[in-house]
Amino acid sequence: MPKIAVNLEDINQLTGKDLTIREFEKISPNIKCEWIGAHDGEIELEVTHDRPDLLSSEGIARALRQYFGLQKGLQKLEFKKSGLHCTVDKSVLQVRPHSRMFVVYGVKLTDATVQQLMQLQEKIHASYTLNRKNASIGVYDLDTLKFPLTYKSVKDIRFIPLGENREMSAKEILEKTEKGRAYAKLIEPAKYPIIVDSKGTVLSMPPIINSEDTRVTPSTSNLFVDVSGEDQLAVEKTVTLMAVALSERGEVRTVSMDYPDRSIESPMLKKQEISTSAGFVNARLGLRLSENDIKELLEKAGFGVSLDRGRITAEVPCYRFDIMHEIDLTEEVAMAYGYDKLEPVFPEIFTIGKADEIETLSNKTREIMIGMGFQEVLTYILEGSNLFDAFNIKAVKLDNPVSDEHDCIRSSLVPGLIELLSNNKHYPLPHKIFEVGDIVTQGDSPLMERRVAAVISDTEAGFTLIKSVAEAVMKNLNSGYSITEYAGSPFITGRAAAIESNKKRIGVFGEVHPSVLNHLDIEHPVVTMELNLEAIKK
């Protein structure tokens, strides 16, 4: 879930309220914000993923106005034409085809507004655009530009990138600037998308970086905003979010996007209607609300509502992309009603419970192991391939591990157990531990398997000892078995055996090879057994 920071003074200015930190904290869960903390008027919140409209103080303030009843029903959002144009050249249609722009007049840029503007861009990029692939945002000082603009693709370009002090080629920008390196993979070489004005000033090379020439400064009062990307829906949603947020700060006007075959006024706010009924809402929530109650509650949540012969039709605010079904309206009603006012009812539903067979067998196995004096331990399923290499055991690897210590899925319980012993050198011998847990077999079709493994380390732990343990397990699991010779890791050849059932190997036991013990810096003999419990399951 995205985390954001907002300023209390800014929020109060946008809501016209005089909230204290405490009051805000108490209300926050009701507007789908999780309170993280506050200091010096800076408030940190976590916003749920369905509400990108809450990623800046403008959206938070709107939600608060709705909560306090200061703003009811659908907010009128109509943007006038600016009369400004941008030509979308056909060269860019194969590269980064979708683009939307708008302008904002009369913005008063304070530290708080600049911070919110940057945060909104950053959070939308991170959470909703597949990291700028589907959509990316650029903000510029409108007064540095000469219209009309052109959005096109070029073989090469030179300009001073934002934050640099010299002109650089496109290739240099991708190789030498931080943003260039981060996003270079999103564009193809010699097909660089750029926005230029009629004087030839480069605005930006989306989605990489803006130019220094069009930088927003504290004296900027008119903004130009562009959103471009590979996914039309993402571009349209993003431009809507930006325009709606900035409409709280200044006057938003549309820009005409002139495609080769058509012109679009941008942003175009989409109208969406979803209808439901009092019957549906009441059945889902366990309430007895009238149509008018529901209308009131939906209006409180910022919806436009009309009632017509049993149907409740809600016009969805343009910045809400999470309303897809009447069940979503139902949740809006519940939230506006207040979760704290919903009385819990325990449903008496008679069903017969049942344990999973392998879990039952696992518990019986635990009983046997504990009866023999073994201590149960819990180790990770994600292990290090270094450890498994030391045991010469293959395991399924992760493609994107976070660290070497957890980069494969264990295919045996034994390495983790023996490694645990190396952490207990000063604990008096004997060490007797076991684990019952899942492994994943290595191979073309990896399978989950429930196993039990036991390990004993003692000054004289030998084959006889572990064979006796293995036989006690098999006999008490009431499973027929035979013991055969076994040669394989991590055992000493000639001192290991396989447990077979119906001519299939279902377990192994024996003395662990001293080279493994040396590797793990274990100073006493170790014997181990491992058994596949799935094979025992009747």
Partner 1 sequence: MISDTLHEHEKKVLIALKTGELSQEELSKKTGLQGDSIAHACLWLESKGLVKTTEERKELFKLGSEGKSYLKEGLPERQVLSEFKKGRKTIGELEKALGKEKTKIGVSWLARQKLAKIKSGKIELTADGLKMLKGETKHERVLNMFKEHDSIQHIQGIEELLKRGKLIKKVDTVKRRVALTEKGKALVGKGIKIEDTVNLLTSRMIKSGDWKKVKLRPYDVTAPVPATKLGKRQPYLALLEEARQYLIAMGFIELRTPLIETEFWNFDTLYQPQFHPARTRRDTYYIKKPNKGEIPEAYTKIIKETHENGWKTGSTGWKYHWDPEKAKNLILRTHTTVSSVRAMNGNKKTPAKYFTISRNFRRDVIDATHLPEFFQCEGIIIQENMNFRELLGVLKEFAKKFAGTEKISFRPSYFPYTEPSVELVAEHPKLGPIELGGAGMFRPEVRLPAGVESEVMAWGLGFDRLCMIKLGIKDIRDLFSKDLNWLEKTPVVID
State which of positions 132-171 bind partner 1 (CB under 8 A): 134
Six-digit token string for 226: 């562009």
* Contact window for partner 1 (CB under 8 A) among 11-19, 361-369, 487-495, 508-516: 361-369
Q: Which of 5, 19, 289, 358 binds partner 1 (CB under 8 A)?
A: 358
Q: How many residues bind partner 1 (CB under 8 A)?
A: 93
Q: Are 533 and 436 in contact (CB under 8 A)?
A: yes
Q: What region, left, alpha or beta, does residue 270 occupy, with left being phi > 0 and alpha being psi -120 to 50 degrees? A: beta
Q: Is 374 in the site for partner 1 (CB under 8 A)?
A: yes
**Residues 392-431: x/- map of binding to partner 1 (CB under 8 A)?**
----xxxxxxxx--x--x----------x--xx--x---x
Query: For partner 1, which is the closer residue by CB, 110 or 422?
Result: 422
Q: Is 256 in the site for partner 1 (CB under 8 A)?
A: no
**H-type alpha helices, 8-167:** 8-15, 21-27, 57-67, 111-128
Query: For partner 1, which is the closer residue by CB, 132 or 152?
Result: 132
Phi, psi of 443 (to 5 degrees): 150, -165
In which order are the strands placed within the sheet that holds 491-501?
A: 375-376, 431-440, 448-457, 526-532, 504-512, 491-501, 482-485
d(CA 167, CA 157): 10
Six-digit token string for 427: 């604990």
Q: Least distance (Å) from partner 1 to the CB of residue 271? A: 13
Query: For partner 1, which is the closer residue by CB, 386 or 482?
Result: 386
* Contact window for partner 1 (CB under 8 A) among 63-71, 173-181, 217-225, 356-364: 356-364
Q: Which of 19, 93, 335, 483 binds partner 1 (CB under 8 A)?
A: 335
Q: Which of 36, 70, 118, 370 binds partner 1 (CB under 8 A)?
A: 370
Cis peptide before 148 (omega within 30 of 0): yes
Q: Is 433 in the site for partner 1 (CB under 8 A)?
A: yes
Q: Is 70 in the site for partner 1 (CB under 8 A)?
A: no
For residues 197, 200, 203, 209, the Cα torsion angle rounded to the nearest 10 degrees is 150
Q: Least distance (Å) from partner 1 to the CB of residue 308? A: 18
Q: Are 409 and 395 in contact (CB under 8 A)?
A: yes
Q: Are 274 and 74 in contact (CB under 8 A)?
A: no
Q: Is 288 in the site for partner 1 (CB under 8 A)?
A: no
Q: Are 526 and 433 in contact (CB under 8 A)?
A: no
Query: For partner 1, which is the closer residue by CB, 5 or 420?
Result: 420
Six-digit token string for 374: 């073994």
Q: Least distance (Å) from partner 1 to the CB of residue 426? A: 9
CB atoms inside a 10 Å sphere around CB 251: 15
Compute and round to an integer the Cα radius of gyration of the chain. 33
Q: Least distance (Å) from partner 1 to the CB of residue 239? A: 16
DSSP strand pairing (272-276 vs 304-308): unpaired
Give the three-class secondary structure for 422.
helix
Query: For partner 1, which is the closer residue by CB, 148 or 446?
Result: 446
Q: Which of 25, 212, 328, 471 binds partner 1 (CB under 8 A)?
A: 328
Q: Is 36 in the site for partner 1 (CB under 8 A)?
A: no
Q: Is 300 in the site for partner 1 (CB under 8 A)?
A: no
Q: Which of 5, 182, 382, 465 binds partner 1 (CB under 8 A)?
A: 382
d(CA 321, CA 244): 13
Phi, psi of 203 (to 5 degrees): -85, -45
Please report, as residue ranges, which positions from 181 to 240 form the binding site for partner 1 (by CB under 8 A): 231, 233-234
Q: Which of 18, 40, 308, 340 binds partner 1 (CB under 8 A)?
A: 340
Q: Least distance (Å) from partner 1 to the CB of residue 297? A: 13
Residues 6+ apart with CB under 8 A from 272: 315, 316, 318, 323
Query: For partner 1, which is the closer residue by CB, 77 or 429?
Result: 429
Please report, as residue ranges, which positions from 266 to 285 form the binding site for partner 1 (by CB under 8 A): 272, 274, 283-285
Q: Least distance (Å) from partner 1 to the CB of residue 447? A: 8
Q: Which of 306, 363, 464, 515 binds partner 1 (CB under 8 A)?
A: 363
Query: For partner 1, which is the closer residue by CB, 161 or 267?
Result: 267
d(CA 534, CA 361): 9
Q: Which of 440, 465, 483, 492 binds partner 1 (CB under 8 A)?
A: 440
Q: Is 331 in the site for partner 1 (CB under 8 A)?
A: yes
Query: For partner 1, which is the closer residue by CB, 140 or 434?
Result: 434
Residues 6+ apart with CB under 8 A from 163: 177, 212
Query: For partner 1, which is the closer residue by CB, 95 or 358?
Result: 358
Q: Least distance (Å) from partner 1 to the CB of residue 277? A: 12
Six-digit token string for 71: 């703003």
d(CA 343, CA 333): 15
Phi, psi of 529 (to 5 degrees): -140, 150
Six-digit token string for 305: 């509502």
